[in-house]
Amino acid sequence: MAETSATILQAIAEAGGVICVNFYSEFLDQEFKTRSEKLRRLRSELRQKHAKDDIKLAEELEKLKKLRPSPPPLSKVIDHIDHIANAGGIGSVGLGSDFDGMTPPPEGLEDVSKMPVIIESLLERGYSVEDISKISGGNFLRVFEQVCGM
């Protein structure tokens, strides 16, 4: 699968495209996704089992809250940036976030005010200011200008 992923990333990069990293926890961390899917199945089973007993259903759903997986750390976002940059080059990486539709966000990226931590993390991993400028919007603007003829 990783080989196929790298091939797709390379093809997008060769076409001059940009892959924007989405911060949705289930996209970032397979273990988080697996645990979240299991929890959704359990909720669904409880809803069927206690369909006629709202009080019992509420009690059982409250117990499930203890099983919620912890969101992945910010480092998972940076790992995805690294992966795209390694496969397609720095010119193919962008940030996609998804603050309006993800729950829970990665730890350390609770809202848009936390975006500077991405910059700090990229600097710590050795990215240049020029590379970070491309990742944080420059690559997207390049493609937008090409597509829109601006």
pLDDT band, residue 1 (cuts 50/70/90): very low
The tens digit of pLDDT for each residue in 108-129 reads: 999 899 999 999 999 999 999 9
Which pLDDT value is given to residue 40? 84
Contacts of 103 (CB under 8 A, 6+ apart): none
Among 89, 92, 84, 66, residue whose Cα is nearest residue 27 = 84
pLDDT band, residue 3 (cuts 50/70/90): low
Out of 42-51, 71-80, 114-123, 128-137, least confident range = 42-51
Find the mean pLDDT for residues 47-71: 78
Among 149, 51, 11, 15, residue whose Cα is nearest residue 3 = 11
pLDDT for 145 beyond 80: yes
- Per cent of the chain over pLDDT 90 is 59
Instruction: Spell out the domain ranges in the chain.
Output: 2-29+72-148, 33-67
Which pLDDT value is given to residue 18? 96
Which pLDDT value is given to residue 85? 96
Q: In this predicted model, which residue has the larger pLDDT, 150 or 94?
A: 94
Full-model pTM = 0.83
- Per cent of the chain over pLDDT 70 is 97
Residues 47 and 57 sit within 8 Å (Cβ to Cβ):
yes
Task: Report the C-alpha gap between 5 and 43 in whole angstroms.
Answer: 32
> For 94, phi and psi rounded to 5 degrees?
-145, 175
pLDDT for 15 beyond 50: yes
Q: How far, in whole angstroms, is CA 15 from its chain's centroid?
A: 23
Residues 95 and 136 sit within 8 Å (Cβ to Cβ):
yes
Which pLDDT value is given to residue 2? 60
pLDDT for 4 beyond 70: no
